[in-house]
Structure 1
Amino acid sequence: MSQTGRQLTLRHGDHTAVVVELGAALRSYSFGGREVLQGFGPDDPVTGGRGQILVPWPNRVGAGRYRWRGEDLQLPLTEPEHGNAIHGLLRWTPWRVVESDTGRAVLETGLWPQPGYPFHLRVRGRYVVDDTGLEVALTTWNEGEETAPYGVGQHPYFTVGTGTVDDASLTVPARTWLRTDENGLPVAEEPVTGTPYDFREPRVIGAARLDTPFGSLVRDARGRAVVRLAHPSGEHGVDVWLGEGTEYLQLYTGDTLPEPERRRALAVEPMSCPPNAFADGVSVVALEPGGHHTMRWGVTPWRG
């Protein structure tokens, strides 16, 4: 048995994806034999959050402290170097395979009441590959009797085969960026206009160091905001679309990762809420008993 559990391979035409039992993470994805996701091997440790599902909050909660419905709560500090609780509580949990066939995998797990998060959730991850690419739907139900604070995200890294991200071209349909402090926590949301964070028109990433949240996403007629990462030749690339339930986006160029992973791929992280949302209250979902929330995102690789 692999260190990441069952390996669920999804295939459709030129598209191949692998989802694993550990954390229901997206391990790999290729199109026409070319890797568009920088993931991990079946027996490799999962580093940098690669492909992991982030529930019941994405990104960081400063000092792990928040107040909900009059109660002060303390989460475990899973990013001790910055004093934060990071990326939720289900990354290292084995998920149950509900369905698996050639082009589809569905996994599910429960999040039980525990210190810092005394709520009961059921979470389902659905992966489908088809002619257009990969679609991911993350749905959570509140199985408890109390209204729960909730957020969700995912942490895939993308590559267009340039060796490092420096030479790749990036387009980001976001009108605002969140200025953060030394611990990665937002201090202000500001317009991207006139800043190094304005990628509304395609431009080379170059030396830009991104570990940056973006908001005010501009959507197309289908309700999707599309982040494009392109090879400098313009001959191929990948579109990451953010659909229902995605209100924010985090981009990370991997500058704090160890070699040989540093700046080798771009993390494009769909999020339902920004960093520190549990503490700040920004876009936190109040998940009522019996209620549910869905976030959808996906990948469309392309050839010019």
Structure 2
Amino acid sequence: MFTIETRPLGPIEGTKPFTDYILANKDTGEWATILPEFGGILRQLVLRKGETRYTLINSPGSAQALLADETYASALLYPFPSRVFQGIYRFEGQAYALPMNETMRNNALHGFVHPRPFRVTRQETTPRHALLAIVYEYAGDVPGYPFPFSLTVTYVLSASGLTLAFEALNTGTTRSPAAFGWHPYFTLNNATTDDLTLTLPTQTVITLDEHMIANGTQPAPPDRLGTFSLNKVELDTPWVATFSDGNGKKQAKTVLAWPSEAVSLEITQSDSLGYVVVYTPSRRDSIAVEPQTANVNAFNSGEGLTILNPGDTLSGSIGVQLV
């Protein structure tokens, strides 16, 4: 039986509590929590393989910790993921300057949807799934991005795990540049990263300069092809995704495995998400796998960038499943 319940998270001094939405499969004990008022993030995810339940999402556990967090845990990244060098770009002959929020490297980072409040537009439970749809409507008020949009994100918990689907609509009267990404930190019951393996859907690595700005591509090194151990491996690297047919559609699949437990986490991305960034935090208890529709600094390079006419949409989906 699938259910949706709510509970307060917080409060923090001077603010009201956030409302956590809990999507649950009561038959299996699997569940996910979504926080619409804080950037629409997936805050927790627990899925089951056999008799064991695995905590899969690593994010701050309290409202206070969320507000202090600087890791973009589970953040929805729009209208650009990753970086725009110095926050400056040109679009259709006009120069724009975004706020720089990565001052150490002189970049604009990860858009500005996170952690703005979304509102719930739909809740649905059936014998097969629990669904929560949320929307953030932007009026064009951030310096450097005067392009209104509506971003809808739909989370679905089912027997196949969790799916995140997004649709960004250009609600303005002019064309607009657009790119989407998701920034989850995955874990397998907080196992040390050194005990895990990774399989990436790619044969091409994106090279970066000293500002973490893309400056080319090269073949992936042999020790990053196929499945490789994460023991003592440090990554903060974007890759060009390679797609194959799956369930009648093109998709790319990243696999994070815990061999000693015989369990794997599969992260699939639809073919609108042509890139994936992988980052291993120094605490070694999680790994960020970040599907993106565009490359680093796409607002300048155009690599993977979508140009939306008024009324057009950018859409795609990401799936998370235990096997």
- TM-score w.r.t. the length of structure 2 is 0.87
1:207 paired to 2:222: no
1:226 paired to 2:250: no
Q: Which moved more, 1:28-37 or 1:55-64?
A: 28-37
Distance 1:47 1:130 in 2: 31
Aligned match for 1:147, one of 166, 175, 185: 175
Q: Which has the larger radius of gyration?
A: 2
1:104 paired to 2:131: yes
Aligned match for 1:172, one of 200, 203, 206: 200
Aligned match for 1:30, one of 46, 65, 77: 46
Alignment of 1:121-200 (within 5 A): 121-161=149-189, 163-194=191-222, 196=223, 198=224, 200=225
Q: Which moved more, 1:225-234 or 1:75-84?
A: 225-234
Higher strand share: 2
Q: Secondary structure at the match of 2:299?
A: helix
Distance 1:242 1:214 in 2: 13
The amino acid that maps onto 2:54 is R
Aligned length: 293
The amino acid that maps onto 2:242 is L
Identity score, percent: 28
Distance 2:151 2:90 in 1: 23
Q: Secondary structure at the match of 1:217?
A: coil
1:259 corresponds to: none
In structure 2, the CA distance between the partners of 1:165 and 1:220, relative to structure 1 (3 Å rule), is farther
Q: Flag as ranges the 4+ runs of structure 1 deviating above 3 A.
A: none
Alignment of 1:82-97 (within 5 A): 82-97=105-120
The amino acid that maps onto 2:57 is L
Instruction: Note the C-alpha offset of 1:20.
Output: 0.3
1:2 corresponds to: 9
Instruction: Note the C-alpha offset of 1:31.
Output: 1.2
Q: Secondary structure at the match of 1:72?
A: strand
Instruction: Note the C-alpha offset of 1:184.
Output: 1.2
Q: Which moved more, 1:55-64 or 1:161-170?
A: 161-170
Unaligned ranges ≥5, structure 1: 256-261
Aligned match for 1:277, one of 292, 298, 305: 298
1:263 paired to 2:288: no
Instruction: Note the C-alpha offset of 1:244.
Output: 3.8
2:14 corresponds to: none
Q: Secondary structure at the match of 1:278?
A: helix
- TM-score w.r.t. the length of structure 1 is 0.92
Residue 162 of structure 1 contacts residue 231 of structure 1 at CA under 8 Å; is this kept in 2?
no
Q: Secondary structure at the match of 1:6?
A: strand
Distance 1:287 1:99 in 2: 25
Instruction: Note the C-alpha offset of 1:284.
Output: 0.6
Aligned match for 1:238, one of 265, 274, 290: 265
